[in-house]
Amino acid sequence: MEKNFKIHTIGKATINSPLDLSKKRGDKIFNFVTENEKIIYNIFYENYNKCLKKNIMPLYMEKAGPREQIFFNPKNVKAAIVTCGGLCPGINNVIRGTVMTLHYFYGVEDILGIPYGFEGLNSSIGHKPIKLTPDKVKDIHEFGGTILGSSRGAQDVNDMVNYLVENNINMLFAIGGDGTLKGADAIGKEIDKQKLEISIVGIPKTIDNDIDLIDKSFGFETSFDVANPIIRNAAIEANGANNGISIVKLMGRDSGFIAASAALSMPVVNFVLVPEMNFQLKGENGFLKSLEKRLKSRKHAVIVVAEGAGQHLIKNGKTVKDASGNLKHHDIGLFLKEEIQSHFKSIKQEVTIKYIDPSYIIRSEKANSSDSIFCSRLAYHAVHGAMAGKTRFVIGVVNNIFVYLPISEVVKKRKKIDLEAGFWFAVLQSTGQPFNMS
């Protein structure tokens, strides 16, 4: 399906920005970003050559940043921020950055925090909005979680749009993952239909790093940073016993980026199992035989498994979904532990197995330094886009540059590890596990 990166706008931006920025190079003052500054999506030479030969324009994205002309008069802006879905390091940083940019750069005085996700946009539930000020948010980056609370599950789109209209909100920043972004786009579509002047902005939040098109989502780096010493300690446990095995289960419902990155950052891991792999337990090339060989040569093993890995191996016929519509996975960690115990018992080999699941500890951590910087920059660019009258977009980094992308494009599919790409090859080189266990 052909991609379309054109950003929706509410109307023509005709108001001079209050930001005292430059319009020329060389004066050592940051310049306004113009609408002509485009970023090529596919940077490979092959694509460039193809476009050149066919005399066609390559696919491009809008560069994020402050515009000289904005759509909203800052004096009349009433903004709202909502956080949805599971917890993730950095949510409070994004809230703080959004409030500070609205207040100090654009002079917006009226900023609301919507409590408990999209529930807070349903008047009948009765959650009261929270007034957000610089004083209220100045220290929240020191803590994990979200000061606004969160929830999963959809609400009626008309109810949510009515809430925005009744409360005179003309700018909504939705911080969340795939489900949240789909919900935000649905709100944006209804707003377009009713010809309302309300900007809907998505700030991608998923600890799994599975939002398509963008380089990474906030909280991801913190997640494998926090997992790093846990894996190190798991390796110490495994080393402390003859035929010691440590299993560490990490987040990753559909994509294994955390497990793979954690293993690369702490290179004591011998096996990484991710949802993208169609590995088998039994047989000459199966995981259990590979684990046997590892114990025979080194007397210990460390296994990192993503929560969504190996679901094809667990057969009980039940399919359950959570409130967000995500498939609830079976516990692959406990399943692996039992299968490993059973296998080595059958061949009369004694093993010591330690199973560690630090998922809730990791997702409740505050953002590390790198994520903290990233969260602030995402917030700044989100506000600049909204003030310029752009809507139904997400802010993200592509090819290491901050850009605006239509929500509709990033939610078409989940980003997954390409098992033929260099990243996964680096993981295989680090762990020494077989290229194929099927």
Q: What backbone phi and psi angles, to 5 degrees, belong to 47?
A: -70, -40
- Condensed to tens digits (0 to 9), the pLDDT of residues 3-36 reads 899 999 999 999 999 999 999 999 999 999 999 9
Q: What is the pLDDT of residue 317?
A: 53
Question: What φ, ψ does residue 89 adopt, rounded to 5°?
Answer: -60, 135
Q: What is the DSSP string of 255-297?
A: --HHHHHHHHHSTT-SEEE-TT----SSSTTSHHHHHHHHHHH
Percent with pLDDT over 70 in the chain: 97
Residue 146 pLDDT grade (very low, low, confident, very high; cuts 50, 70, 90): very high
| pLDDT, mean over the chain | 95
pLDDT score of 398: 97
Model pLDDT, residue 154: 87
Residues assigned a catalytic role: 208
Residue-level pLDDT at 302: 98
What pLDDT score does 263 carry?
97
| 401 Cβ contact partners less than 8 Å away, ≥ 6 residues apart | 39, 63
List residues bridging with 114 in a β-sheet: 82
Query: Which residues are documented as binding site?
Result: 86, 152-153, 177-180, 206-208, 251-253, 307, 360-363
Q: Which amino acid is at 167?
A: N
Give the model's pLDDT for residue 2: 77
Q: How sure is the predictor about 43, in pLDDT bands with cuts at 50, 70 and 90?
A: very high
Residue 437's pLDDT is 96
Nearest to 251 by CA among 207, 197, 211, 200: 207
Cα-Cα-Cα-Cα torsion 148, 407, 192, 131, nearest 10 degrees, comes to: 20
User: From the annotation, which residues make up the binding site for Mg(2+)?
Assistant: 178
- Cβ burial, residue 26 (10 Å; 0-12/13-18/19+): exposed
How many residues does the structure list for the chain? 438
| Binding-site residues for ATP | 86, 152-153, 177-180
CA dist list (Å): 366 to 88, 144, 223, 248: 8, 4, 10, 21
Give 357-399 pLDDT, tens digit per residue. Answer: 999 999 999 999 999 999 999 999 999 999 999 999 999 999 9
What pLDDT is attached to residue 328?
Answer: 74
Domains defined along the chain, listed by start: 8-217+367-410 (3.40.50.450), 221-363 (3.40.50.460)
Q: CA separation (Å) from 231 to 228, 241, 306, 331?
A: 5, 16, 13, 19
What is the rounded average pLDDT of the residues 84-94? Answer: 97
pLDDT at position 319 over 90: no
Q: pLDDT band at residue 329, thresholds of 50, 70 and 90?
A: confident
pLDDT at 218 over 70: yes
- Mean pLDDT in residue range 219-241: 97
Burial (0-12, 13-18, 19+ Cβ within 10 Å), 31: middle
Which residues are documented as binding site for substrate? 206-208, 251-253, 307, 360-363
Q: How far apart are CA 139 and CA 155, in angstroms?
A: 31
